[in-house]
Amino acid sequence: MMSAEECWEAVKQRDRRFDGLFLFGVRTTGVYCRPSCPARRPLRRNVRFYPTPALAERDGLRPCRRCRPEAAVGSELARIHELCRHIETHSDEALTLESLAARAGLSRFHLQRTFKSVVGLSPKQYRDACRLRVLKRALKESKDVTEAVYEAGFGSASRVYERSNARLGMTPKHYREGGRGLSITYATTKSPLGLLLIAATDRGVCFVEFGRTTEALLKALRQEYPDAQIEPIEQSARPEFHEWMEALARYLAGEQPSVNLPVDVRATAFQMRVWNYLQSIPSGEVRSYQEVAAAIGQPTAARAVAAACAANAVALAIPCHRVIRGSGEMGGYRWGVLRKRKLLRLESREAGAIAGGTAKALAFAR
């Protein structure tokens, strides 16, 4: 989502380049429009901005009959959706921003902004994520790492090692060997929601889970990283690790509204899109599975979104508890619906004013 200042400037100029990138709603008229709507411009204080029609309509607004904004966004989302499929099937090719823009019928500027608004990644980042997914499969099937690297479309082994660290949670060689040689440290602590285990590599948090016993939590950690070297943290080592533990403790004690930790996880391209979007949901607000699916450009993928939430092994840092069913029911939660309800109640209370998503979160947290 663009900044409010950028959105308002586009509305003032009735700039057609931004049609499909965002919508603006007018509280006094109860409608939402595309940026280029020819109707009389409203006062700034009465305007709100939305990335999708679903979020505008959730605030009680209806589409403008003059500019038909729902059609513009729907067309734009369809083009981005098709472009994602094209990137996925051609990720081993040299896809330039110019060629992708031409395929989508958009300018380079508009494609870059629209794609990132919908997907949460730039076209280049999405292509790299798709290549990493191919690489993960190839590492298990190819004769050696070099063959897998080139099969996935990477031009050099050195570059793929740099990029894979951010998404595989380990180097290609480590992943091929089941995490052998990867060093993971962990610690447990008691929290208001039960026993909590946090584990991290030297790049960030890779595992945060609630459980009944330390033994059960360690078993889950070893299942996630079966061949890694897993050791308890020493009190004198890794000061940033203790800082992450303290941040989680302050959040669960209600002393801060959310946590912002460096995350080092393995993910498919789809999971990454879902998890990136979840991290953008403000503390104290919720989204439905359908809203998340629409926001990442795949409106029919609500079930896949739910599966991505269930696969999240980093509780709180990737806030999958902020996603509920469209009916308003809590839906599932990897660590129990009761914990989910308590987290939403905690965040809603910390968020302060009850408005929009915050009110919704409070209503279902009671």
Within 10 Å of residue 41's Cβ, how many Cβ atoms?
A: 14
Q: Which of 67, 84, 309, 320 is catalytic?
A: 320
End-to-end CA distance of the chain: 31
- The residue written with tokens 């595989």 in the block is 168
Within 10 Å of residue 326's Cβ, how many Cβ atoms?
A: 13
63 phi, psi to nearest 5 deg? -70, 140
Q: Which of 33, 84, 206, 309 is catalytic?
A: 33
Pairing, β 323-324 against β 229-232 = unpaired
212 phi, psi to nearest 5 deg? -90, -40
Burial letters for 224-254: b for 16+ Cβ neighbours within 10 Å, e otherwise?
Answer: bbeebebeebeeeeeeebeebbebbbebbee
For residue 309, indicate whether it is catalytic.
no
Can you give the C-alpha Rg of the chain in angstroms?
Answer: 22
Sheet bearing 194-200, strands edge to edge: 205-211, 194-200, 183-191, 229-232
Pairing, β 194-200 against β 62-63 = unpaired
For residue 7, indicate whether it is catalytic.
no
Residues carrying an active site annotation: 33, 320
